[in-house]
Amino acid sequence: MEMLNEIGKRAKIAKYDVQKYTTQMKNEALVHIANKLVACSDEILKANQIDISKAKENEAESHTTPLRLKKPQIFLLHIRINTIE
């Protein structure tokens, strides 16, 4: 939970930087992120499988359900981001 709080704090700070960018710059950044997701999809899916396994082991302690990723979801996200106007 501490990690999520830290991510939230960092996101709050980052929003002020992001507001300075044009829509085109933000869209280009999203496309770059989408391309990286596809390029790293095998690594992402392996890490996701590890997270799911760990969550199953600690099921009694956890209050969250891990996101189960599949390759088509990553590719669909890539397509949707690349069609942003």
Examine the pLDDT at 28 and tell me if it is beyond 60: yes
Domain boundaries, the chain: 23-82
**Angle subtended at Cα 14 by Cα 44 and Cα 80, rounded to the nearest 5 degrees:** 45
Closest C-alpha among 18, 30, 23 to residue 10:
18
Please tell me the distance from the alpha carbon of residue 68 to that of residue 45, in angstroms, as a whole number: 9
Tens digits of per-residue pLDDT, 46-78? Answer: 999 998 888 888 775 666 677 788 889 989 988
Do 66 and 52 meet the contact criterion of CB atoms below 8 Å apart? Answer: yes
21: which DSSP letter? S
pLDDT the model gives residue 63: 63
pTM: 0.67
pLDDT the model gives residue 19: 93
Largest CA-CA distance found in the chain, in angstroms, rounded: 46
